[in-house]
Structure 1
Amino acid sequence: MRRLVKCWRTQRLRAARATGVLLAIAAGAAAGETSQCASNPTRLADQSTLNFRIDNDLFGGLGQDQGYSNGFLVTWVSPNLGDYVDDPCLPASMRRLNRYLEWLNPAGFDEQNMTMGIGQLLFTPTDRTRTDLIRDDRPYAAALLYGWGYNARRGDHLRTSQVRIGMVGPSAKGRQVQDWWHGIIGTDRFQGWENQLRDEPVFQILHERRNRIARHESPSGWGWDAIGHWGGSFGNFATYANAGGEWRFGYRLPDDLGTAPLRPGGENMSPVRVHPAQLWNTHLFVALDARWVLRDITLDGNTFKASHSVDKRPLVADIGYGIAVTRGTWRFAFARYHRTREFNGQREVPTYGTVTIGKRF
Structure 2
Amino acid sequence: IGDIGSIQRGLRPFTGDRKSLRAFKRITGFDDPNAVQYNFGFSLTQLMFTPEDFASETQPEGQRRYAGWSALGFSLHTKDDQTLNSVEFLLGITGPKSLAQDTQDFIHDFRDIENFLGWDNQLPAEVTADLSFVQKRRLNFGENDDILSMDGIGEWGGRLGTFRTTGHIGGMVRVGLYLPADFSDPRLSETAYAHKYFTNDRVMLSSWSAFLLGGFKASLIAHDATLDGPVFHDDFETGNTREAYVGEL
TM-score > 0.5 by shorter chain: yes
Identity %: 25
Tell me what 1:328 maps to: none
How large is the Cα RMSD of the aligned pairs?
2.5
1:172 is aligned to 2:102: no
Give deviations 1:77-131, integer Å, cap 9, x for gaps: xxxxxx2xx13xx4xxx1x334444423542242221121112111111111111
State how far apart, in whole Å, the 2-side matches of 1:229 and 1:296 are.
22
Contact 1:132 1:195 in 2 (8 A): yes
Contact 1:197 1:308 in 2 (8 A): no
Tell me what 1:315 maps to: 245
Give 1:311 shift. Answer: 1.3
Please give the secondary structure, in 1, of the residue aligned with 2:14: coil
Contact 1:227 1:258 in 2 (8 A): no
Give 1:201 shift. Answer: 0.5
Q: Which residue identity lines up with residue 247 of structure 2 in the other structure? A: A
Pick closer, same or farther for the CA change 1:247–1:105 going to 2, 3 Å. closer
Contact 1:203 1:236 in 2 (8 A): yes
Q: 1:239 aligns with which of 165, 170, 176?
A: 165
Pick closer, same or farther for the CA change 1:199–1:252 going to 2, 3 Å. farther
Give the alignment of 1:218-233 within 5 angstroms: 218-220=145-147, 222-233=148-159
Contact 1:260 1:287 in 2 (8 A): no
1:208 is aligned to 2:138: no
Give the alignment of 1:262-281 within 5 angstroms: 262-267=188-193, 269=195, 270=197, 273=200, 281=209
Pick closer, same or farther for the CA change 1:226–1:185 going to 2, 3 Å. same
Q: Which residue identity lines up with residue 116 of structure 1 in the other structure? A: F
| Superposition TM-score, scaled by structure 2 size | 0.80
Give 1:140 shift. Answer: 0.7
Contact 2:81 2:200 in 1 (8 A): no
Pick closer, same or farther for the CA change 1:265–1:254 going to 2, 3 Å. farther
Give 1:257 shift. Answer: 4.9
Q: 1:259 aligns with which of 163, 166, 185?
A: 185
Give 1:177 shift. Answer: 0.8
Give deviations 1:301-357, integer Å, cap 9, x for gaps: 1211232321111001122xxxxxxxxxxxxxxxxxxxxxxxxxxxxxxxxxxxxxx
Tell me what 2:13 maps to: 103
Q: Which residue identity lines up with residue 248 of structure 2 in the other structure? A: D
1:115 is aligned to 2:44: no
Q: 1:288 aligns with which of 216, 229, 249?
A: 216
